[in-house]
A and B are shown apart, each in its own frame.
Chain A
Amino acid sequence: MSDNVLEVHGLGVRLPAGSDRDFAVQDISFTVGSGEIVCVVGESGSGKSVTAQAVMGLLPRELKAEQGQTLLEGEDTLKASPVELRDLRGTRMAMIFQEPMTALNPVARVGEQISEMLEIHTAMSASERRARAIEIMNAVHLPDAEKMVDSYPHQLSGGQRQRIMIAMALVLDPALLIADEPTTALDVTTQAQILTLVKEMQERRGTGVLFITHDFGVVAEIADRVVVMQHGRIIEQGPRDQVLLNPQEPYTQMLMAAVPSMMPPERSPVVGETAAKTRKLVKQYGSSGWFGGGRKVLAASEVNLQLARGETLGIVGESGSGKSTVARCIVRLIDPTSGDIELDGTEIATISQADLRPHRRKMQIVFQDPYRSLNPRRTVGLAMIEAPMNFGMPKEEAMSNARDLMELVGLSGDALDRYPHQFSGGQRQRICIARAMMVNPELLIADEAVSALDVSVQAQVLKLLDDIRAKYNLAMLFITHDLRVAAQICDRLMVMQKGIVVEEGPTREVYANPKHDYTRLLLDAAPGQNVVFGAGTA
């Protein structure tokens, strides 16, 4: 057992009085061996980050680790003094964070930030430190490290910054690397590269890695062992294949069943009347400026799409691909630069906002962030009846419709008198869907509508969207970056890259036989694509 770099025994962290439970985490026991990647997975609020913070000695002031031990190579970090902890961090344990934009100091050169670690913990001279910084930057495969060592964080891409973070973490060869959702903020292709890098570093240096994630694809990709957490407790732990393929606990089985499969199910092509279409839709950002010659960015370039009633069209792509721009142009939250948008036979691309208002009833949108999509000062009921009352429905009728719709989306009618903060993220997203349905739209746009939700909730909301589409014969435009989700819900798929639609076709065909290089790249980058999770059948 002396091979373990980290042993956590019966860790318990108490929450401040008045919280919804007494302990943030309780009875947490697991080990990380050297050269082993242990993934801690769980939905939001399961206590996985608190566990990592306790090990690092980075718990927020209000939280107190009251029980248990966290032994880093035999030394209890819970009992270490602040000075001892500072010494341990960096040299024997290191952490990388989710947000590579904010975890680096924006006003210091990245090389200085790496060599700062060496300056604090070693007696190296300045030139030695610089050489070592370049060496470690080469090791994490940063291009042209001799030059990049003098750049500032804003000059690097998100993936490069995360590589810098990893370089900083590994420069002193720590025994334990804690990675808290290190790829969540990254695009799928960048994520694949970072995962490969973490794996390579761990194999080459024998570092033990404690990897925190909510993404089961990532777990399947890199984990040696898996720890599943829920409500601050460990539900199940074991070798990866055992947990993912043959989970024992009902909760784990439920989670695994909820992970959408990368295999699109068989869908017959939808033939219906056209609900919406765009012709050569262009959105260009940046103007010519006062003196001409400003920077121009094509967010969407000549996008042609056609959407029939009862059909779900997916637009997938990485951040900045222009998929949301297309959605926002269609509902005219932003004005397209050129091109046509036809909604139910009416041309709406260039008409004024006042002329557009009567047509707004026919298209509704559900946004990504359920916490910001509802006005926190107004009750759910008021949010629901706003649109129908704008179109002249009497209040009583709107309220009774709202009650019916709330039940349709699985909430009780008396929820209408409550405020948004009294609902969970999944419930709020249901409310947003119900709100969109209040005006009987013909086109429903879901802009990353399930991306902020936990996997089990995500599965329910996806099912709800699909049911509603079928029931009301809706045309649905589904914007997502998640290829698993897209595989499950979309009839047809459009792949966008840098504002251009690079491939289009029936979902099953695109997945089975991608024609464009970029589509192939995206599909290959999806983590854990070959794993068939637990009870989930393709």
Chain B
Amino acid sequence: MAADAQSPLRQTLKRMLSNTSVVIGGTIAILIVLMGIFAPFLDTRDPTDISPKNRNKVPGYEATIRDYDGNKIPVLYRLGSDTLGRDVYSRIVYGARTSLIVGAAVAGLAVAIGLVLGLVAGYFRAADGIIMRVMDGMMAIPAILLAIAIVSMFSAGLFSVIFAIVVAEVPRVVRLVRSVVLSIREEPYVEAAITAGTPTAQLLVRHVLPNTVAPLIVQGTFIVASAIIVEAILSFLGIGIPPEIPTWGNIMAEGRQVFQLFPHNILYPGIILALTVLSVNILGDGLRDTLDPRFAKRV
């Protein structure tokens, strides 16, 4: 008998924390999450405050504005201002909230729905054909087009954007879960549980579900990244979240008309968007390598 009595879970955690990708990607992602949470305390102003006098200022512009009591207060436009004189820095910092909420909500919902459908499709042959044909049909439409179509059916807003991206992401999760379940279902230890008289629901939760966790965590991070991008695209196209709410996509959409004169409106939100997506993807790569080496070869 081997001497180490560590559970597989503890070993995996240890391996995870010694992976460079996980540490680097995770650190950047956590910093961005903190930025979103503590937005009011990061020397920001109301991201929706307009200031007609200070429109289209370059980064570093110092101005004085009057508050509601008429007092003059100095303000610094760290990253410049947009066409309505709103502070781009504050909008970017607050915009992190929208992006992260969309990313997390989409990943959570898509994984939850996909997990249930995938388990059912993988384990019950009768349901497999029906569920998978529907998923195949959805996969045939490009995710972004599907999202645009769904958003245009509802009024624009955070929830319809989340719903639209979830619908587009679910089929990928279902396929992944189903493929795992199909192979696990044939494992002798699952058959042993069947002969042990374990009820089907318990059998799925106890013996099949744990095998999907690792690939799902990995897939989940990739969904976060893709949802953030799709949200930005929808906002940029003007069909996503209403323009007054600061999101990275909205900021870039605002700056589009004056891009050649004032590139900062697109440059800075672009950089932070790219950095966020990159960090989440690096994190996902690292998790994939540590959690699921077989999955690494499959994708």
Contact = CB atoms under 8 A, between A and B. Distances in A.
A375 B191 CA distance: 11
Given A367-B191, A373-B189, A373-B192, A419 B199 contact: no
A417 interface: yes
Interface in A428-451: 432, 435, 439
Interface string A346-384: 000000010001101101110111001111111000010
Contact of A422 (B5, B189, B206): B5
B187 interface: yes
A329 to B, nearest CB: 13
Contact of B197 (A357, A367, A374, A375): A357
Contacts of A357: 197, 199
Contact of B192 (A363, A377, A423, A435): A435
B198 interface: yes
Interface in B1-36: 1-2, 4-5, 7-9
Contacts of A358: 197
Contact of B198 (A367, A374, A386, A421): A386
Interface residues of B, number: 23
A99 to B, nearest CB: 20
A375 B206 CA distance: 10
A419 B195 contact: no
A421 to B, nearest CB: 7
A422 B1 contact: yes
B196 A419 contact: no
Nearest to A386: B196
Interface residues of A, number: 36
Nearest to B184: A375
B250 to A, nearest CB: 45
Contacts of B200: 353
A423 B1 contact: yes
Interface in B246-263: none
Contacts of B196: 360, 364, 386-387, 390, 435, 439
A374 B195 contact: no
B2 A422 contact: yes
Contact of A418 (B1, B188, B192): B1
B192 A390 contact: no
Contacts of A435: 192, 196
Contacts of A472: none
A364 to B, nearest CB: 6
B205 interface: no
Nearest to A391: B197
A538 interface: no
A164 to B, nearest CB: 29
In the A-B complex, the 3 residue pairs with the closest CB atoms: A387-B196, A360-B197, A367-B188
10 contacts: A357-B199, A360-B195, A360-B197, A361-B197, A367-B188, A375-B207, A383-B189, A387-B196, A391-B197, A418-B5
Interface of A: 331, 333, 353, 357-358, 360-361, 363-365, 367-369, 372-378, 383, 386-387, 390-391, 415, 417-419, 421-423, 427, 432, 435, 439
Interface of B: 1-2, 4-5, 7-9, 187-189, 191-200, 206-207, 210
